[in-house]
Amino acid sequence: MLEVSHVTKKYGKNIACNDVNFTLEPGSLTVLLGPNGAGKSTIMKSIIGFLKYSGSITVKDIPNKTPQARKILGYIPEMPSLYSTLTVNEHMEFIARAYKLTNYKDRIDMLLKRFELDDKKKKFGDELSKGMQQKLNLCIGLLPDPEILLLDEPLLGLDPHAIKELKNYIEEMRQSGKTLLISTHIIDSVDMLWDRTIIMQNGQVKANVTRTEIEGRGKSLEDLFFEVTEGIEKDDVSPDDKKDSGEA
Ligand code: ADP
């Protein structure tokens, strides 16, 4: 449904994404894992159409930068960019009108309530704490309810209630058939139900496996991550360890 094909993005001489290929199946939740600087944000920004790159990205066979594709795609950036002169409610209204949403008032109320911003509706963007800004960033991204949603490090900066609420919300979206791509560099945060993981490092896709495949190999996501990014096999025993245990 979403197809990333041979995408390369360079910033000057620095190759942020190097021939990246993957497909997101409809109704699946994919976790995009990788250390800082692996290229996760760059590939997400490329998918959403913010960057120039070489290669091709299509949504339901439609090029990602077309108006039709943009209606299907949604993106929640890692860093909120809010308007200091708009209130919380005005941000939500602004997005609703920009996306030409209809009957959106109840949805705004629902989102602001779930993320505990309902008593902050009249606060201006620059009056919000960092965590509140993150929550408003989420509410803004969730409001249009797109078919495919990319979330870049969505749990960063959130308080425990918001983390729990977002994980529940993600699971609800997954159950309702949305296609989700969630990036993170924190493996421990990936305890929600996911279908596939893509591990990136140095701009390249180093692994692309389903949950069933990993579980079938008797590995955890953490095992796979270190195997792929540091070449450490869980069952590896160094010669010294063998000597210590009398095996060598
Ligand atoms: P991640 O999201 O996995 O942490 P990024 O996609 O942000 O990684 O970054 C990948 C590489 O691209 C890094 O080397 C980073 O320094 C570089 N990079 C990202 N954004 C820019 C930019 N706007 N200008 C120059 N280099 C960038």
DSSP, collapsed to helix, strand or coil, labels residue 162 as helix
Alpha carbon of 245 to those of 10, 43, 232, 236: distances in Å? Answer: 49, 45, 20, 14
Substitution candidate for ligand 1 out of 4, 8, 9, 11 with most atoms within 8 A of CB: 11
Q: Are 129 and 94 in contact (CB under 8 A)?
A: no
Rounded Cα gap, residues 198 and 104, in angstroms: 34
Its pTM surpasses 0.75: yes
For the record, the structure tokens of 21 come out as: 């290929």
Q: Whose CA is nearest to atom 25 of ligand 1?
A: 11
* Per-residue model confidence (pLDDT) at position 234: 61
Over the stretch 183-202, which tens digit does the pLDDT of each residue have?
Answer: 998 887 777 778 999 999 99
Cβ–ligand 1 distance for 179 under 6 Å, the answer: no
Delimit the domains of the chain by residue range. 2-244
**Fold of the CATH domain 2-244:** Rossmann fold (3.40.50)
Question: Token pair 């299509």 is at which residue?
Answer: 58
Residue 237: which pLDDT band, with cuts at 50, 70 and 90? very low
Q: Which atom of ligand 1 is found nearest the CA of 39?
A: 6
Q: Whose CA is nearest to atom 26 of ligand 1?
A: 11
Rounded Cα gap, residues 194 and 182, in angstroms: 10
Is residue 242's pLDDT more than 80?
no
